[in-house]
């Protein structure tokens, strides 16, 4: 059995291999990163993450069956791009969940009614009704509000469950209890649903 190199020698060897890779194959590696990324910035981040992973994990002493460093990097760049994309999607979803656009007053300042509608009274009535419902949504439990909002945006019950990480039962319960609570709040205010 061959003796294991010490950690400092291993780091130096990794750094030398990576330097040579970046000198000779940088264009190919960046193309791989760009291929699996949404933007140039994400591709740069993926390539940088892959380089850090190379310096931490590549095994130049793995024997005759070891992967070529360029193949190792190509795979690592692809996985880094996927991780970055997944992180960005999760961040966007979290941001979308934290702000429900139709609860803000600026959303209602835009004309939300049919632009072809001819009766001003209908537009005013529709806008007031939408404002009332938007205000009432703030009185629901957060999960009920989220479920009703996502259903209102056109997602199916299954999509809501997948997006939120809920069971189908929880989605059904949140939607039905939220609707029931909205009806109660409308009845208390003397509004018709």
The domain containing residue 149 runs over which residues?
Answer: 101-188
Give 99's pLDDT tier (boundaries 50, 70, 90): low
Last residue of a domain, one of 81, 98, 115: 98
Structure confidence at residue 150 (pLDDT): 84
Beta strands in 2-153, from DSSP E residues, in sequence order: none
Last residue of a domain, one of 80, 98, 116: 98
Instruction: Establish if 50 belongs to a structural domain.
Output: yes
- pLDDT tens per residue across span 6-43: 778 888 888 888 888 889 988 998 888 888 888 888 88
In this model, does residue 131 exceed pLDDT 80? no
In this model, does residue 114 exceed pLDDT 50? no
Same domain flag for 117 and 59: no
Instruction: Establish if 2 belongs to a structural domain.
Output: no
Last residue of a domain, one of 98, 115, 134: 98
Domain count, the chain: 2
Give 66's pLDDT tier (boundaries 50, 70, 90): low
Torsion of CA 179, 184, 187, 188, to 10 degrees: -140
Residue 156 belongs to domain with CATH number: 1.10.10.10
Lowest mean pLDDT among 71-75, 76-80, 113-117, 159-163: 113-117
Give phi and psi for 104, each to the nearest 5: -90, 150
Same domain flag for 139 and 155: yes
In this model, does residue 53 exceed pLDDT 70? yes
Mean pLDDT of 89-107: 59
Structure confidence at residue 83 (pLDDT): 87
**Sign, CA torsion 184/187/188/191:** positive
Closest CA to 33 of 72, 89, 80: 80
Give the count of beta carbons closer than 10 Å to the beta carbon of residue 77.
Answer: 29
Q: What's the full length of the chain, in residues?
A: 193
Same domain flag for 11 and 90: yes
Q: Are 36 and 80 in contact (CB under 8 A)?
A: no
Give 126's pLDDT tier (boundaries 50, 70, 90): low
Q: Quote the tokens at residue 76.
A: 């690592």
Instruction: Establish if 1 belongs to a structural domain.
Output: no
Same domain flag for 109 and 176: yes
Same domain flag for 131 and 184: yes
Structure confidence at residue 138 (pLDDT): 79
Same domain flag for 88 and 107: no
Same domain flag for 82 and 137: no
Same domain flag for 94 and 121: no
Q: pTM of the predicted model, to two decimals?
A: 0.47
């Amino acid at each position: 059995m061959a003796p294991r190199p010490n950690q400092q020698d291993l780091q130096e060897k990794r750094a030398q291999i990576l330097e040579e890779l970046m000198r000779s194959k940088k264009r190919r590696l960046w193309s791989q990163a760009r291929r699996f990324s949404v933007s140039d910035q994400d591709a740069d981040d993926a390539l940088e993450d892959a380089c850090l992973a190379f310096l931490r994990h590549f095994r130049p002493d793995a024997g005759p069956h070891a992967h070529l460093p360029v193949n190792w990097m190509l795979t690592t760049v692809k996985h880094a791009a996927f991780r970055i994309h997944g992180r960005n999607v999760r961040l966007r979803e979290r941001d979308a969940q934290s702000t429900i656009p139709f609860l803000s007053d600026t959303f209602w300042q835009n004309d939300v009614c049919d632009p072809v509608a001819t009766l001003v009274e209908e537009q005013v009535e529709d806008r007031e009704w939408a404002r009332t419902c938007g205000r009432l949504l703030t009185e629901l439990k957060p999960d009920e509000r989220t479920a009703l909002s996502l259903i209102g945006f056109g997602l199916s019950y299954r999509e809501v469950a997948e997006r939120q990480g809920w069971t189908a039962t929880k989605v059904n319960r949140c939607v039905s209890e939220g609707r029931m609570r909205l009806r109660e709040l409308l009845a208390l205010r003397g509004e018709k649903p």
